[in-house]
Structure 1
Amino acid sequence: MPGCIRVEAPITIVEGGTFDQIFQWKSGSPAEVVDLTGYSAKMQVRSLVKSATALIDVPNATVSWEADGDTGVYIFDDSESPATGNWKWRVYINETDTEGICASHADISGVYDLFLYNADGEAVLQQYGAAYLMAACTRSA
């Protein structure tokens, strides 16, 4: 595949809440699911693109996803037949990692991007967009 493909997808994260969203990449005509065998990913959320510090860092997950598990980008094939492949990635941010992100108790209109890297380590897809972080009044005890 030539170069890095870009796709815009805005997200909303609630302070103190779990973020759990699944995405899929299709390419060609007719559109077919891209095989993500050997792929890895990394995602960061910032208040501004130029911000030195990420508000949330979402690493590549190297284990299978579990409910209430670790924050990560989980790449998986949910097809019943490995020959057909139904590759997806799940962005999962545990509530412990969203707690306190709106330090001034105000919503943040930020940005994020997520890169998918092929088995050779090349960034082949950039998913990016607005990241709306909604402040919450409930705090942990």
Structure 2
Amino acid sequence: MGYELKTKQNDRSVIEFIEEVESEKKKEDAYRLLDIFTETSGYEAKMWGTSIIGFGSYHYKYPTGHEGDAPLVGFSPRKVRHSLYFATGDEKRAELLEQLGKHKSGKACVYVNKLEDIDTDVLKELIRQSITFLKQTYPDA
């Protein structure tokens, strides 16, 4: 009875998911994020679980034996704020977050109220940095 990862890549339409976002402003931001992440990452957007839009993927394995697949980067247009997903454990992440603009950050997530609050050039750098870091850490990514 292994641990079952809930957030798996699936074939749900990213556009349909964004269209379900209630707030017009959030929806508009979600489409801009979709463009920024797609262009910057070079990967096609895929749904992960029910609410994460992910780009690329990598397979991780922890010393505990726990392993799974996750998107290299991603975002989710949540009701209150957007959740942005970048690699953790990278020193440059904190440095870049200081330049990002108005946000809150948790362990794996960076929370942004609206895109006007942040510097999109720094966002692009975070996306690139995250992908580079994960590909170095997990060479099969």
- What is the TM-score of this pair, normalised by structure 2? 0.27
- What is the TM-score of this pair, normalised by structure 1? 0.27
- More strand as a share of residues: 1
Larger Rg: 1
- More helix as a share of residues: 2
